[in-house]
Structure 1
């Protein structure tokens, strides 16, 4: 009689059969109330986002993908990313944050190998992925047994997603123009909490302000100042949902000296005040705070 070796089977997907840890699952309802989540990253979390309803765009690092029902968007720890809804309705997603992920032949907390795309098609597995996400979302708020089951279900989804077909993508090319913009992006991403103006960028990159603005927007779809704002608000959202820092402290950390101005910009981008954003997040997570 052949005995089923669970540890051996797990090792086909996870290094040494070690299961990852699910930190959180959030559900974004497709209810028409849009809440922006601009470019941001997590230091020690990888994540998969399953689209259960609606359409949108996924931006990660310097790549852009269309999203529709059944798609799974992935990112590795420290990747800059954002999901954008199309039209007036919010795109419906389940987002699952994971740490201690050790897929075979991959670095820690990495779903995607270098040069590979970040979006995959659920295809025939989409109904199962949706049903499992719904179960995890409910069980994760139950007693310890329910949380344990949700962890195991999450590991099963990761095993499935790791085997799904890749999806095409668009990214920056190797052209001189795109490399110029990539150099600017690298500088901004390293310094966005410091005072940066078009004048400072023009001086650093030895060209006119109009040249900087035109090339940057042509390639990224944002003006440099809009991109800086997106990075600051994305970081502010991370701090709001992972710490007890005041809005004043957060404003200073992300580069704003004036708290009222920070709140105004945050509300314009996100559609909620910083405090309301934090309250709504904690309510959706039933008081849990597991973002990093």
Structure 2
């Protein structure tokens, strides 16, 4: 028999006034990843993603990152992210959402400084992280007694493991202080504030006092999107959120995100997501109902 003893004077890695709360755990299979969750952000929680299989490019905070198996992605609250996928880009991953995080010297619901790289290789920590995610997902989906409480403690174990990874790369910043980056952030902020409005490159350049050519060139150079592509992806990402979280009709959602013509909205949504808005909502509701049924049966 081998025993491992706990140290007598153990101190917590986190000093929380309130306990963080696990909101959900998702398991994204390779075949499901071809229907992407387009550009969006979360106002009041952090997401932690573990890439299990596949590789590709993700846009996080306006920058493109090459992701690969074993990478941990951290989406602070308010950070716009775009999970680019498609028939030839299949990525399996786990994801969890956590609210109520307050780390010393960081804003609320931020796990890393906003200028720090959000992609962290897990290396030899991958098996541990994978097991924690797997147990959290299987426990929640089973609906067994005490599932939520058990998973909240597992979430704390996950946070400790992730913090350990972050400590090893502390100081690895992306650097946004040079003039072109500052200008791109200004353009991005403008689009995020006005993307639901009738917008053109001419409108943007006039309001920002930048020539249309330079605005388009510098923005695409840094984000890999043209300004208009960015607008479209923000609209579709917001539409996905509204389809999931509200009872608004498709026509109402089209209007909210900036489309007067529902048919045009349907065409653009299908192009970016791979299915119509109605089918997207139906698929999500079916999945949620199936999980609820499993809770009831258990």
Q: Give the TM-score taking structure 1 as reference length.
A: 0.87
Paired residues of 2:61 and 2:79 also in contact (CA < 8 A): yes
Paired residues of 1:43 and 1:78 also in contact (CA < 8 A): yes
Instruction: Look up the SS of the partner of 1:140 in the other structure.
Output: helix
2:245 is aligned to: 242
Q: Distance in 2 between matches of 1:56 and 1:112?
A: 23
Q: Distance in 2 between matches of 1:284 and 1:32?
A: 12
Q: Distance in 2 between matches of 1:153 and 1:211?
A: 49
Q: Distance in 1 between matches of 2:50 and 2:95?
A: 7
Per-residue CA deviation, residues 95-154 of structure 1 (Å, 9 max, x unaligned), is 101111233443321111243221212111111111221111111121341222122112
Paired residues of 2:35 and 2:86 also in contact (CA < 8 A): no
Give the Å deviation of 1:236: 0.9
Paired residues of 1:57 and 1:86 also in contact (CA < 8 A): no
Of 53-62 and 259-268, deviating more is 53-62
Give the CA RMSD over aligned residues: 2.7
Out of 191, 195, 220, the position equivalent to 2:194 is 191
Give the Å deviation of 1:166: 3.1
Q: How many residue pairs are counted as aligned between the two chains?
A: 284
Instruction: Look up the SS of the partner of 1:66 in the other structure.
Output: strand
2:113 is aligned to: 113
Map 1:135-284 → 2, pairs under 5 A: 135-141=135-141, 142-164=143-165, 165-166=168-169, 174-175=178-179, 177-284=180-287
2:296 is aligned to: none
Q: Distance in 1 between matches of 2:176 and 2:86?
A: 22
Instruction: Look up the SS of the partner of 1:15 in the other structure.
Output: coil
Q: Distance in 2 between matches of 1:219 and 1:131?
A: 36
Does the C-alpha gap of structure 1 residues 263 and 107 become closer, same or farther in structure 2, counting only changes over 3 Å?
A: same
2:74 is aligned to: 74
- Extract structure 1 runs of 4+ deviating beyond 6 A: 3-6
- Any gaps of 5 or more consecutive residues in structure 2? 293-298
Give the Å deviation of 1:39: 1.6
Q: Distance in 2 between matches of 1:101 and 1:183?
A: 28
Does the C-alpha gap of structure 1 residues 283 and 9 become closer, same or farther in structure 2, counting only changes over 3 Å?
A: farther
Paired residues of 1:65 and 1:170 also in contact (CA < 8 A): no
Paired residues of 1:55 and 1:86 also in contact (CA < 8 A): no
- Any gaps of 5 or more consecutive residues in structure 1? none
